[in-house]
Amino acid sequence: MKRNDLLLTLLVMVIWGFNFSMIKTSVSEINPLLITAARFAMAITPAIFFIARPKVGWHFLIGYGVVFGVGVWGMAAWSIASGLSSSLSSVMLSANVLLSMILGILILNERVSTRKCIGGIIALVALILLFHTTTGTTTWKGMILIFVATCCWTLCGFILKASKTQEAFAFSLWSLLFAPVPLIAFAIVLNGHQIIEQAYDLWNWDTSIAVLFQAYPTTLFGYWVWNKMLIRYPLSTVAPLNLLVPVFAMLSGFLFYDEALTMNQVVVSVLFLLGIALIVKPKAKSLNHLSSIQKMQ
């Protein structure tokens, strides 16, 4: 990855890590599916009126929007509302990275070097250790929901690749158009129409701030960058960066909810960084070739 692209993606990982604390704040009293619907409704307003629809089939936009909106973040928010700690939720959701790498090799025939394999193994070990060192509550319902979210996130990457779009921002924006309605419908089917009135009565300033953070920095900016990188680089190169999210999620838990970081968690976080560095570091030959091109220019 180019340095600027890597730095931009790392910024998104920080935002996404802090996003889990924002989700926890917003779903403490209000239905998580409705919170997620509000997040995506805000994210597309008013930008969608100024950005042309990407030149891809509607089925890609609808499929990505529903899977991403309901399958990934609807289930992730619901898992936290069901008692799963925000830090553990981020760890489990990051398991999609390893699945994405494997499927990228098997289905997309992406080539992975020995160095990347070693980095992937280190990252996997770190993920397992992080799971065991993460503090917080665990519920079976929450674990099942976050597992569904993990699988759906992997599916989102393949939908994006299959669309062959080169318009990352427009694709992200227009796909979100199809997320709010299914989320609201799902919430009503499960809880009845009164859930809408309850959400209105319980909404406060903290909820608004949390949802705005989820809508704009996390969703609009974050997934524009993420999808742009997925278009530009192989899935097996970009996906491992998502393993950084739990590190920043634990940091945000420490800052917002006084969740202490143990020495074990610090050591595991370093393992994460080492594994990811091995995966995303370009080959020396590639760096020399890039340097030669820059000199010629």
**Pairwise CA distance, residues 76 & 139, whole Å:** 13
Q: What is the pLDDT of residues 119-155, one digit of tens each?
A: 778 877 877 776 676 555 567 788 889 889 988 988 8
Report which of 29, 31, 35, 153 is spatially closest to residue 89, judged by C-alpha positions.
153
210 against 139, higher pLDDT: 210
pLDDT at 281: 63
Q: Is the pLDDT score of 41 beyond 70?
A: yes
Residues with Cβ < 8 Å from 290, sequence gap 6 or more?
282
The total of other beta-carbon atoms located within 10 Å of residue 140's CB is: 10
Enter the DSSP assignment of 283.
P
Q: Is the pLDDT score of 65 beyond 90?
A: yes
Helix %, strand %, coil % for the chain, to 5?
80, 0, 20
pLDDT at 72: 94
pTM for this prediction: 0.77
165 against 67, higher pLDDT: 67
Report the first-to-last Cα separation within the chain, whole angstroms.
20
pLDDT at 75: 95
Q: Is the pLDDT score of 180 beyond 90?
A: yes
Q: What is the pLDDT of residues 2-27, one digit of tens each?
A: 888 889 999 999 999 999 889 988 98
Least confident of 61-65, 158-162, 187-191, 207-211: 158-162
pLDDT at 54: 92
**Pairwise CA distance, residues 227 & 93, whole Å:** 17
* Mean pLDDT (whole number) for 96-121: 73
Domains of the chain by residue range: 3-112+138-246
Q: What is the pLDDT of residues 241-269, one digit of tens each?
A: 777 887 888 788 777 766 665 677 677 76
Least confident of 81-90, 131-140, 205-214, 269-278: 131-140
